[in-house]
Structure 1
Amino acid sequence: MVTVAPPHPWTYALRLPHDPRAVRVARMTVRAALRGHGRQDALDVVELLASELVTNAYLHTKGPASLRLTGLGDGRLRAGGWDSDPYVPSPSGGAGDDSAPLAPLDTGSGRGLLLVQEYADSWGGRALGDGALGRGAGKLLWFEVGGRATLPLLPK
Structure 2
Amino acid sequence: MTLPVLILTIILSLLKLLVTCLPTDAVNWILSKFKIHSEISDSNAIVTFDGKRLEGEDKIQVIDYFNEAKFLKKNHIFPGNEQLFLHPENSGTPIIIDVKRGKNDVRFFVYIYSDHVDVVKQYKKKVVAYSLLSEGFQERSMPVIRNLA
What TM-score, normalized to structure 1? Answer: 0.29
What TM-score, normalized to structure 2? Answer: 0.30
Which is greater in Rg?
2
**Larger helix fraction of residues:** 2
**Larger strand fraction of residues:** 2
